[in-house]
Structure 1
Amino acid sequence: MTTQMPVIYVISDALGETAEFVSRAAAAQFSGVRTRIRRVPYVRDEVHLDEILEEAVHDQAIVVYTLVLLGLRNHLEQRAKEMSLQTVDILGPLIGAISVQTGLDPSHIPSIIHRLDEQYFRKVEAIEFAVKYDDGKDPRGALYADVVLIGVSRTSKTPLSMYLAHKGIKAANIPLVPEVAPPEELFTIPVHKVVGLTLRPDMLNLIRTERLKTLGLGASADYASLERIVRELEYARNVMKKIGCRIIDATGKAVEETASMVLDIMYRGERRD
């Protein structure tokens, strides 16, 4: 008899570490059975949830979740039932039992336990956020980010995102490419949450040329051509002007210096002059 490898989707409106730990503990009870666990953190809307459940159906997965947002929890159960998916609610029954015992209503606030050590856990959350929403992997991250960094390739968006994450700032970054329309999310969030990054063309040319060398590619590729770079920078600046965001020229600046400027824009809510 061939045993199918079980697939577990761990869905959370926070980090999802608790549900993943419980899932791994349960899977460990079945010796010799390989289990694939996919953790999906920061699920905060029904559209995103529906997309994940569609993928879970394809994988014939068991859905394990820690959702404290009641509406989202109810939506998951309803959709999972329609899709014939098995679900395991890690937090719901215990929250309900405590509510009955105390006569109090739960707050239904995601990540509330993190307040026990807010600074540490916020950093962990921010790092995971930066990884998940790096390089425009999912433009919806802009809706939940503390700051969104935009710019052409190799303008230090990723290093800056990670630096900010270690400061507890949830940073998403989205590349601007002339051949690809910028995501609509950039035009719907508060303008002071978007920061444009740019570099001098000659500096960007040098950085991209070195990047191609590390990849074993010729420096003559269009990606590193000065003509292409000037065109990209002009396109990016036009997008930034349309958004109305502040623009930082990171040429010659250390990551720490650029990060300080980003934080100033965020907290003061400054606008472009």
Structure 2
Amino acid sequence: MVIKEAVSISADVKPRPVVYIISDSIGETAELVVRAAASQFNGGNVEIRRVPYVNDTSEIPEIVEEASHFNSLIAYTLVLPILRETIAAEAKKHGVITVDIMGPTLDALTQLEGRQPKLEPGLVRKIDQEYFRKVEAIEFAVKYDDGKDPRGITRADLVIIGVSRTSKTPLCMYLAHKSIKVANVPLVPEVAPPEEIFSLPHHKVIGLTISPSQLNEIRQERLKSLGLTSHADYASMERILKELDYAKKVMEKAGCPIIDVTNKAVEETASRVMEIYYKGERLGR
């Protein structure tokens, strides 16, 4: 029996027309189209039989031959021309009605785009999966921002460490849009860093540093935006040097790569981070 799945639109037990849905993926698209069309006939009193993952011409004759024994039609979403041609030929031989849902749209878009399609089954689902991975990574970056929850360190693809105002959060969000789950941990002399960062593979922890003078400027601007005096200890050169020295020692202990973000755009830093991360993943470090 070739049918992988059968779904009834109506509970009516009388003999009904049968719509065979043949797809090189799971057949969701064709089923939605058939259901939408059937709704114009009060549900159409039709039975839907889905035949997913058809990727070989040798599978088609048996399916069409079976369909010929019913009052049926075949709706199909197949990207490979050879599969569409085989169905058309077999259906003509057996007198079965067919509806090519994908083919005409592919042909029209080929004319519009002026180039050939990839002809790779299941790309919509791959795109959807990529989208959801990106959303998950963004949610992860928000949840584990600024060391809010140390559990994020062991769950992250990457951990960014550095003193305040080294663009850790913007960097994490940028990387999240690349579907990388990133947590960040601020380094403060008065607070011991989470021990977890010292047990991670070196390429999964990235330290950020910056020139003292630029950090001083950034912090002074931050204080002004908050309506505070620029002479606060947070922006003093003495405090900045102390923090940077402390952060350097933590990074050296972690054995992680260190990136100087002085005068660098987030995109530039992210490019370097991804280079380090993916190289480490390839080498299995």
List runs of 5+ in structure 2 lacking aligned partners. Answer: 1-124
Equivalent in the alignment of 1:43: none
- TM, length-normalised to structure 2: 0.54
Any idea what SS the aligned residue of 2:208 has? strand
**Structure 2 partner of 1:175:** 186
Number of residue pairs the alignment of both structures matches: 158
Match of 2:137 among 112, 117, 126: 126
Who is 2:268 aligned against?
A: 257
The unaligned stretches of length 5 or more in structure 1 are: 1-113
| Alignment of 1:225 onto 2:236 | yes
| 2:173 counterpart letter in structure 1 | M
Match of 2:28 in 1: none
2:225 matched residue in structure 1 = 214
Give the superposition deviation at 1:130. Answer: 0.2
| Deviation per residue, 1:208-256 (Å, 9 max, x gap) | 0000000000001000000100000000000000000000000011111
Offset of residue 115 of structure 1: 5.9
Matched AA of 1:139: P
Aligned to 1:196: 207
Residues in 1 aligned to 2:127 and 2:253: alpha-carbon distance in whole angstroms: 42
1:52-201 to 2 correspondence within 5 Å? 117-201=128-212
Report the counterpart of residue 56 of structure 2 in structure 1.
none
SS where residue 118 of structure 1 aligns?
Answer: helix
CA RMSD of aligned residues (A): 1.6
- Taking the aligned partners of 2:198 and 2:239, their CA distance within structure 1 comes to 26
For 1:232, the aligned partner's letter is E
What is the distance in 1 between the residues matched to 2:162 and 2:247?
Answer: 6
Query: One-letter code of the match for 2:181?
Result: K
Aligned-partner residue type, residue 153 of structure 1: S
- CA distance in structure 1 between the aligned counterparts of 2:280 and 2:161, rounded to whole angstroms: 17
Identical amino acids, percent of aligned pairs: 71
Alignment of 1:261-272 (within 5 A): 261-269=272-280
Q: CA deviation at 1:191?
A: 1.4
Q: What SS does the aligned partner of 1:189 have? A: coil
Query: 2:252 aligns to what?
Result: 241
* One-letter amino acid matched to 2:187: L
Q: Normalising by structure 1, what TM-score?
A: 0.56
SS at match of 1:197: strand
Amino acid at match of 1:210: E
Residues 116 and 166 (structure 1 numbering): CA distance in 2 closer, same or farther, change over 3 Å?
closer
**Alpha-carbon distance between aligned partners in 1 of 2:126 and 2:205, rounded to the nearest angstrom:** 27
Report how far residue 143 of structure 1 moved.
Answer: 0.5
* Structure 1 counterpart of 2:179, one-letter code: G
After superposition, where does 1:7-22 map in structure 2 within 5 Å? none
Q: Per-residue deviation at 1:128?
A: 0.1
The whole-number CA distance in structure 1 between the counterparts of 2:131 and 2:199 is: 30
Q: Which residue of 1 aligns with 2:60?
A: none
The alpha carbon displacement at 1:116 in A equals 6.9
Q: In the aligned structure 2, how far is the partner of 1:227 from the partner of 1:140?
A: 33
1:186-206 CA deviation, whole Å, 9 max, x = no partner?
A: 012111100000110000000
